Amino acid sequence: MMKRAKALFLGLLRPSSLLLAGSVSAESVTRQLNMPRGVTEVSQAAYDIHMIMIWICTVIGVLVLGFMFYVMFAHRKSKGVTAANFHENLVVEVLWTVIPALILIVMAVPATTALLKVYDTENPDIDIKVTGYQWKWQYEYIGEGVKFMSELRTSQDEIYGRAPKGEHYLREVTQPLVIPTNKKVRFLITGNDVIHSWWVPDFGVKRDAVPGLFTAAWTKTDQPGTYVGECTELCGLGHAFMPVVVEVKEEAEYEAWLAGKKEEAAIYASTIGKQWTFDELMVKGEQVYGRSCAGCHQVNGEGITGVFPALKDSPIALGPAEGHIAILIDGVAGSAMQSFAEQLSEVEIAAVVHYERNAWGNDVGDIVQPINVLNFKQSQ
Amino acid sequence: MSSESSYYVPEQSKLPLMAATGMGAMGYGAASWVIDGGTSTIFLIGSLIMAAAMYKWWSLVIEENTRGIVSDQLKHSYVLGMYWFIFSELMFFVCFFGSLFYVRVLVGPWLDGEAAVGWFDDTATDAAIANATHLWPGYDATWPPLVTPDQVVTLAANPDATEFQFKGPEHAMSFPGWSFSQILGWLPLWNTIVLLSSSGTVHVAHHALKEGNRKKFVTWLGLTVLLGVVFLFLQAEEYIHAYQELGLTLESGIYGTTFFLLTGFHGAHVTLGTIMLLIAFLRGAKGQFTDKDHFGFEMAAWYWHFVDVIWIGLFLIVYVLG
Amino acid sequence: MAHGPSQNFFSRWLFSTNHKDIGTLYLWFSFAMFLLGGFFAMVIRAELFQPGMQLIKPEFFVQMTTMHGLVMVFGAIMPAFVGLANWMIPMMIGAPDMALPRMNNLSFWILPFAFTILTSTLFMEGGGPNFGWTFYAPLSTTYAPDTVNYFIFGVHMMGASSIMGSINIIATVMNMRAPGMTYMKMPLFVWTWVITAFLLVAVMPVLAGAVTMMLMDINFGTSFFDAAGGGDPVLFQHVFWFFGHPEVYIIILPAFGVVSQIIPTFSRKPLFGYSSMVYATASIAFLSFIVWAHHMFTVGMPIAGELYFMYATMLIAVPTGVKVFNWITTMYKGALTFETPMLFSIAFVILFTFGGFTGMMLSIAAADTQYHDTYFVVAHFHYVMVAGAVFSGTAAVYYWLPKWCGRMYDETMGKVQFWIAFIAFNITFMPQHFLGLAGMPRRYSDYGLQFTDWNMVSSIGAFLYGGAQLLFLYNVIRTIGWGKPIDDPQVWEGAEGLEWTVPTPAPFHTFSTPPVVK
Ligand code: HEA
Ligand code: HEA
Ligand code: CUA
Ligand SMILES: [Cu+2]
């Protein structure tokens, strides 16, 4: 209690010191006021038109409101003025209809060219499919056979204040999307369950991920680096917890990374028959569970009454392993319980099923091996 | 504009609160009813309260009118109320017609990878092409759609599949063809004939009333009510046919969805209109309308014409062009 | 029919057919809803005070956001203006009452039931609506808790209430004007309300259609919003915004009306450009029907659609500008005094214009790619809705309260409230522009550390602003109970119009025989 009070009090001090300190700032990101210029043609076009609009509005605002302040100052009753009685003047009325209309026409020109840039998705060098899931992203390099999930890495402890918040709080993921410099990358964006929106401010890319339909966006930059974005369409309770992280690498580096990814997939396929021990699976399973399942079913397996069922003592988790695997592979149609067949590897599915069957006092005692999962998949 | 000095401002009334209570119970009850395992009890209680309130309310208005305290100006208020009510009903249908337009003209082509509005720009967008290659391969959008995207994809993965989230109908409701027997057996055409003639009969009834010919009025109005009932009967027949023989249900994808929602809401409005006409008929039989004073009947008649106009739209868009 | 108010408290307020009593009911109801919605906002701001989840869980946060939006828009602002319409329109046009007094009472009483149903979901299993006030499918259909059905029927009831209320207003204005009160002599408040009522009758049924489609998709297996069946989730957005965009003008047009009454009074000078004001209002209403998809710039519409909606949206600046210029020119060469209603009205003009400018920025589709669904949008609409609708509503209460109850409010306290509200409002919402531009999305229960400072500032401002509302409540109650009695019919030196010719406080029945307007 005292700790919270102290934190609040310090919190109160911080902004007030900020107001006093004015523009003197230690960490520039913290005090950022304006839109970032970004690193692509599109983001820069957006920034430019944004600045144009700010200036036009400022000028109009200063003129119009300035005039009003003058009137408020000069024509007050306390100064002994008597009110005039006019209430019409065709000339000014026409003028202040026509002039704003002209300003609008002027504004429309750069607005149109900027928009044409946003829509210029033709002839890409690389096609990446982006799928929004509750509450993570999946990236698939179309035609390369590489595909993976990208999930929040920040721990629940940090979020709930049980551990200090790291520097990259809510801006870190398990695997970032990697793209090369100087290549036109096209994103084909869709959703798996509800609508999400894939946003990377520095690219000027924000497109909704609508289930059942694609939207398209593109990017091309010459500046390597790590760019962080967010999900910007309300997608349920984990909306704030599915950041986008993109790493832009030099071309050669990118190629090496991609080759590594392909190799990984090959190695994985060859080891799928390995027999895991009970404890190995528990450890792995707990990780997977914490990352992929706890968001809904909660860390303690008790779910949220009325929304997400408890897995602790659930008949499915205690029943035959087949049925349990089936739910993960197929999902439950028309509910938030999605199919994990595409999102998790066989090893991960086996591990998490095993974990659920043997954690929180569920002790079925059997072992679920990756090969069981593979067999189940193939029997379908 | 106000010309008389005595606009009738009614005394306090318990009816509004009663109606609001009924409505509240209906809303709450309907929600708990549609949820799995819910019951209809509260909804039914609400409906009863509502029905009682409405009955008393209309009786009160009729009684006020027969007592002669309803000035022309107040009548005009009722008339305006009815006009704008009909306008709001119109907008309700606009919503559904607009949705039909959207899914039919735009969404279908997007899902199967074409440019939506071909005459404007016939290059398909990247997104549309991706829809057809990655999400719904093999889906071919036609209207009326007899297969759904879900069905196409599921069948491609497993040709023996029988379970679908959305399975298209076997047949559509559209125009069957030009042979005489086909046309003769086409229910919507009969429905149109029935409904159009009912608009005619109500018009005749109106004229009869204005001429002061009560007998003729009652006869023709009775005929109108009868036609309304026949229409509803035919539509029920059509729905049964759709469900049992054509496999066209609410679950058959967007076609079943739009078909039943549009015709269903129209049917609901026909029901309401028929009830209004029936009340007018009963009042007419009691002699409550005079050649000058019959706005109760007139309102029902406008409503009826409105329902008719909607039907013509439905007939053309859902059936003929469907 | 010169019956006075019923002596029995319950029968007076429950069974009323009197436009003033029903207006009072509406106003109190809306104020209660404002406190409730404001309370939800306080929960939001308290949680966002710091990064991390401190007070509530993410699932409850989303419910708070949703309920805050719904309660404020449908429970606080709309009924507040209907209340003002009930009180003022008959008095302004010289009518004895509303055209359909019993229906008037019905349209009020539906609201408490509707909002009880809506808020009761917060206590049910599964929780309240958690899909934002825009309730996009499929989050609000396939993925919604069962309680969404209560939400759906609640919305249906609110819609029914609004439609009845609007029909009543239209009928009153078209049919009940005193002899000589031609359309072009009607006070601007009346004009803005008829046009608003027209918008309501046109778009509430569309909202009803939208929730009906949801109901069918959820419970009866239809596929309006499911691509697997040939529908499209984006269809929902089109239907919703076809309602939703006119809805925001439904909120602001009566506010324009209020300000157009107040500014001439305290400028002691007739409203400048009366007829262009009327035409501007009508143009705004017309344009509001054809710009809806500017809320959907990132949804992937074809570029032709995007361009069209961008251009059409930009056009709204023209008629709105006309209004702003007219208000300022009304003040020009007047004899200005700055009583509380005038202060709120001037703040309205300044802050609304500011919010309008950010609206113009949002209308630029390429830039909206960056702004969309960030706090920049939240800042925009609180500038137009709080500094627009709430400020003008407050101004209206200070302006007309003396007429209603025959007692004067305390000017000093009014001014104190104004300054706290004005400053706190800007502390709350100005930083949200920065947050949005720096990249903070809306409807976020938690945020990265880089957004901490401005969120704290905003939260502190919000608590202060909430405090100002409590002061307002106190001020109103104090005036009604203990304010200085006045009996000058005109109340304000510069006030013109029929409502200022009846005695103060306004008797239970006014204009039982219509006045003649020259
Ligand atoms: C009272 C309510 C109200 C009002 C009046 C407005 C007014 C305007 N709004 Fe706003 N708006 C909302 C309420 C309102 N809005 C809400 C609630 C949302 C969010 C909904 C949600 O997603 O939850 C929203 C969102 C919103 C968006 C979508 C943003 C997004 O989600 O990405 C856009 C985009 O175009 C927009 C534009 C405008 C414009 C152009 C105006 C114009 O009407 C403004 C016109 C006024 C002026 C321009 C100022 C005065 C004019 C002059 C002084 C003349 C000269 C000026 C020029 C030539 C520039 N609004
Ligand atoms: C006209 C409508 C209206 C009004 C008046 C307000 C008023 C306020 N709104 Fe909001 N708001 C919306 C309409 C409105 N809002 C809408 C439509 C949304 C979008 C919802 C969505 O995304 O779906 C939104 C969203 C919204 C958000 C974003 C939430 C999110 O994205 O997660 C925030 C955050 O700061 C916010 C804050 C506030 C605040 C601080 C006020 C203040 O002005 C409120 C002041 C009033 C009071 C505080 C009440 C009086 C005092 C008490 C009850 C006593 C208790 C007080 C204390 C403890 C101090 N509103
Ligand atoms: Cu995903 Cu928000
Ligand atoms: Cu809008």
pLDDT tens readout for residues A337-351: 888 887 788 888 888
CA torsion sign for C458, C463, C465, C466 is positive
Question: Residue C468 above 60 pLDDT?
Answer: yes
The residue whose C-alpha atom lies closest to atom 35 belonging to ligand 1 is: C363
Concatenate the DSSP letters of all residues of A41-81 into one string: HHHHHHHHHHHHHHHHHHHHHHHHHHHHHHHHHHSBGGGT-
Q: Does A5 reside within a domain? A: no
pLDDT 10s digits, B54-73: 999 998 988 888 887 888 88
Cβ of B126 and A333 within 8 Å?
A: no
Residue C182 phi, psi dihedral angles, 5° rounding: -75, 165
Smallest Cβ–Cβ distance between B150 and the set C17, C215, C229 belongs to C229
Query: Same domain, yes or no, for B280 and B174?
Result: yes
Find chain C residues with C-beta within 8 A of B24's C-beta.
110, 113-114, 116-117, 157
Query: Same domain, yes or no, for A77 and A141?
Result: no
Boundary of a domain, candidates B70, B105, B130: B70
Query: Same domain, yes or no, for A344 and A294?
Result: yes
Atom of ligand 2 nearest to the CA of C72: 2
Which pLDDT band, with edges at 50, 70 and 90, does A118 fall under? very high
Count of residues in chain A: 380
Which pLDDT band, with edges at 50, 70 and 90, does A304 fall under? confident
pLDDT 10s digits, B103-152: 998 898 888 888 776 556 677 888 888 888 889 988 888 888 888 888 88
Query: Same domain, yes or no, for B65 and B182?
Result: no
Question: With an 8 Å Cβ cutoff, is B31 touching chain A?
Answer: no
Atom of ligand 1 nearest to the CA of C291: 35
In Å, how far from its chain's centre is CA B120? 33
For residue B119, what pLDDT is reported? 58
Which pLDDT band, with edges at 50, 70 and 90, does A9 fall under? very low
| Mean of pLDDT values over A280-289 | 87
Kindly report the nearest CA distance between residue B258 and chain A, in angstroms: 19
- The answer to whether the CB of C96 falls within 8 A of the CB of C511 is yes
Token readout for C23 is: 């207006």
Query: Same domain, yes or no, for A265 and A294?
Result: no
Angle between helices B72-101 and B295-314 (to 10 degrees): 10
Count of residues in chain B: 322
Question: Residue B5 above 60 pLDDT?
Answer: no
Burial class (CB in 10 A: 0-12, 13-18, 19+), C174: middle
Domain that holds residue B177: 72-322
Task: Give the catalytic positions of C in this structure.
Answer: 68, 97, 133, 161-162, 245, 247, 249, 260, 294-295, 320, 323, 442
Q: Does A4 reside within a domain? A: no
Cβ of B149 and A212 within 8 Å?
A: yes
Query: Same domain, yes or no, for B213 and B295?
Result: yes
For residue A145, what pLDDT is reported? 82
For residue B231, what pLDDT is reported? 93
Q: Nearest chain C Cα to B112, which residue?
A: C230
Kindly report the nearest CA distance between residue C17 and chain B, in angstroms: 5
User: Please, which residues have CB within 8 angstroms of residue B87's CB and are 6 or more apart in sequence?
Assistant: C201, C202
Which pLDDT band, with edges at 50, 70 and 90, does A379 fall under? low
3-class DSSP state for residue B7? coil
Question: Residue C35 above 50 pLDDT?
Answer: yes
Q: Partners for B (CB, 8 Å, 3+ pairs)? A: A, C
Higher-pLDDT residue of A279, B200:
B200
Start-end of H helices in chain B: 15-34, 41-67, 72-101, 108-111, 126-130, 149-157, 180-184, 187-211, 214-241, 253-286, 295-314
The residue whose C-alpha atom lies closest to atom 53 belonging to ligand 1 is: C321
Find chain A residues with C-beta within 8 A of C44's C-beta.
none
For residue A30, what pLDDT is reported? 54
3-class DSSP state for residue B205? helix
Atom of ligand 1 nearest to the CA of C248: 2
Distance of CA C381 from the midpoint of ligand 4 (Å): 10
Query: Same domain, yes or no, for A240 and A325?
Result: no
Q: What percentage of chain A exceeds 70 in pLDDT?
A: 91
Domain that holds residue A340: 278-379
HSE-CB at A268 with a 13 A cutoff on CA atoms is 14
The residue whose C-alpha atom lies closest to atom 51 belonging to ligand 1 is: C321
> Could you report the predicted ipTM of this complex, rounded to two decimals?
0.90
Question: With an 8 Å Cβ cutoff, is A190 touching chain B?
Answer: yes
For residue A233, what pLDDT is reported? 95
CA distance B223 to B200: 10
CA distance B266 to B311: 7
Atom of ligand 2 nearest to the CA of C462: 40
Cβ of B9 and C96 within 8 Å?
A: yes
Q: Report angle CA B238, B243, B245 to the nearest 5 degrees.
A: 85
Could you tell me the CATH number of the domain that includes residue B38? 1.10.287.70
pLDDT 10s digits, B227-270: 999 999 999 988 998 888 888 889 888 999 999 999 999 999 99
Kindly state if the Cβ of C442 falls inside 6 Å of ligand 2. Answer: yes
User: Please, which residues have CB within 8 angstroms of residue A34's CB and are 6 or more apart in sequence?
Assistant: C434, C437, C438
**What are the structural domains, with CATH classification, of chain C?**
22-178+195-220+339-500 (1.20.210.10)
Cβ of B134 and A212 within 8 Å?
A: no
Query: Same domain, yes or no, for B184 and B268?
Result: yes
| Mean of pLDDT values over A244-260 | 93
Question: Residue A369 above 90 pLDDT?
Answer: no
| Mean of pLDDT values over C435-452 | 93
Q: Nearest chain C Cα to A239, which residue?
A: C444
Question: With an 8 Å Cβ cutoff, is B81 touching chain C?
Answer: yes
Query: Same domain, yes or no, for A88 and A130?
Result: no
pLDDT 10s digits, A16-43: 444 433 333 333 345 578 898 999 999 9
| Mean of pLDDT values over C425-445 | 95
For residue C147, what pLDDT is reported? 92
Kindly report the nearest CA distance between residue B314 and chain A, in angstroms: 29
> What integer best gives the mean pLDDT of chain A?
85
Question: Residue A137 above 90 pLDDT?
Answer: yes
Give per-residue burial for C452-483: e unless 16+ CB within 10 Å, then b.
Answer: bbbbbbbbbbbebbbebbebbeebbeebeeeb
Smallest Cβ–Cβ distance between A33 and the set C273, C276, C434 belongs to C434
Cβ of C149 and B20 within 8 Å?
A: no
**Amino acid at residue number C378:** V
Distance of CA A129 from the midpoint of ligand 3 (Å): 17
Boundary of a domain, candidates B13, B41, B70: B70
| Mean of pLDDT values over C488-494 | 88
pLDDT 10s digits, A142-194: 988 888 889 898 988 899 988 888 889 999 998 999 999 999 999 999 999 99
Q: Nearest chain C Cα to A207, which residue?
A: C298
Query: Same domain, yes or no, for A290 and A331?
Result: yes
Atom of ligand 2 nearest to the CA of C45: 35
Which pLDDT band, with edges at 50, 70 and 90, does A11 fall under? very low
Query: Same domain, yes or no, for B261 and B142?
Result: yes
Find chain B residues with C-beta within 8 A of C218's C-beta.
34
Kindly report the nearest CA distance between residue C503 and chain A, in angstroms: 26
| Mean of pLDDT values over A269-287 | 81
Which of the residue ranges A223-227, A281-285, C260-264 would you say has the lowest mean pLDDT?
A: A281-285
Which pLDDT band, with edges at 50, 70 and 90, does B322 fall under? low
Query: Same domain, yes or no, for A87 and A206?
Result: no
Distance of CA C362 from the midpoint of ligand 1 (Å): 7
Q: Which helix (H) or strand (E) holds B68?
A: none
pLDDT 10s digits, C283-292: 999 999 999 9
Token readout for C509 is: 């029945």
For residue A1, what pLDDT is reported? 36
| Mean of pLDDT values over C28-39 | 96
CA distance C518 to C511: 16
Q: How many domains does chain A have?
A: 3
Query: Same domain, yes or no, for A353 and A292?
Result: yes
Question: Residue C7 above 70 pLDDT?
Answer: yes
Question: With an 8 Å Cβ cutoff, is B149 touching chain A?
Answer: yes
Q: Does A324 reside within a domain? A: yes
Token readout for C514 is: 């219509």
User: Please, which residues have CB within 8 angstroms of residue B287's CB and are 6 or more apart in sequence?
Assistant: B214
Q: Nearest chain B Cα to C94, which residue?
A: B2
Could you tell me the CATH number of the domain that includes residue A297? 1.10.760.10
Which of the 8 DSSP states describes residue A29?
G
The residue whose C-alpha atom lies closest to atom 2 belonging to ligand 3 is: A239
pLDDT 10s digits, B12-54: 889 999 999 999 999 999 999 998 878 899 999 999 999 999 9
Query: Same domain, yes or no, for A355 and A265?
Result: no
CA distance A355 to A286: 6
Kindly state if the Cβ of A242 falls inside 6 Å of ligand 3. Answer: yes
Which pLDDT band, with edges at 50, 70 and 90, does C512 fall under? confident
pLDDT 10s digits, C182-225: 999 999 999 999 999 999 999 999 999 999 999 999 999 899 99
Strand pairing class (A136-141; A126-133)? antiparallel
Q: What residues pair up with A215 in beta bridges, in sequence order?
A: A189
Q: Nearest chain C Cα to B38, which residue?
A: C146
Which pLDDT band, with edges at 50, 70 and 90, does A3 fall under? very low
Which of the 8 DSSP states describes residue C121?
G
Residues with CB under 6 A from ligand 1: A 57, 60, 64, 100, 103-104; C 134, 248, 251-252, 294-295, 313, 316-317, 320-321, 324, 353, 356-357, 359-360, 362-363, 368, 371-373, 377, 380-381, 384-385, 388-389
Mutate to test the pocket of ligand 1, among C131, C242, C251, C294 (most ligand atoms within 8 A of CB): C294
Cβ of C450 and A240 within 8 Å?
A: no
Q: Nearest chain B Cα to A123, which residue?
A: B126
Instruction: State how far the alpha carbon of C103 is from the alpha carbons of A94, B12, B61, B77, B298, in Å.
Output: 43, 12, 12, 12, 20
Smallest Cβ–Cβ distance between B27 and the set C16, C103, C117 belongs to C117
Query: Same domain, yes or no, for B139 and B188?
Result: yes
pLDDT 10s digits, C54-113: 899 999 999 999 999 999 999 999 999 999 999 999 999 999 999 999 999 999 999 999
Radius of gyration (C-alpha) of chain C in whole angstroms: 23
Q: Does A2 reside within a domain? A: no
Boundary of a domain, candidates A118, A146, A165: A118
| Mean of pLDDT values over C129-146 | 92
Count of H-run helices and E-run strands, chain A: 11, 10
User: Please, which residues have CB within 8 angstroms of residue B231's CB and are 6 or more apart in sequence?
Assistant: B191, B194, B195, B198, B270
CA distance A367 to A281: 8
Query: Same domain, yes or no, for B24 and B88?
Result: no
Query: Same domain, yes or no, for A162 and A262?
Result: yes
- The answer to whether the CB of A179 falls within 8 A of the CB of A126 is yes
Q: How many domains does chain B have?
A: 2
Query: Same domain, yes or no, for B23 and B134?
Result: no
Substitution target from B8, B57, B77, B140 for chain C, most C beta carbons within 10 A = B77
Cβ of B165 and A121 within 8 Å?
A: no
Query: Same domain, yes or no, for B63 and B84?
Result: no
Distance of CA C248 from the midpoint of ligand 4 (Å): 7
CA distance C341 to C418: 9
Kindly report the nearest CA distance between residue C117 and chain B, in angstroms: 7
The residue whose C-alpha atom lies closest to atom 38 belonging to ligand 2 is: C41
Give per-residue burial for A326-339: e unless 16+ CB within 10 Å, then b.
Answer: ebbbebeeeebbbe
pTM for this model (two decimals): 0.90
Q: Which helix (H) or strand (E) holds A306?
A: none
Kindly report the nearest CA distance between residue C101 and chain B, in angstroms: 7
The residue whose C-alpha atom lies closest to atom 24 belonging to ligand 2 is: C69
Distance of CA C355 from the midpoint of ligand 1 (Å): 7
Query: Same domain, yes or no, for B63 and B95?
Result: no
Token readout for A157 is: 């402890």
Boundary of a domain, candidates A64, A90, A118: A118
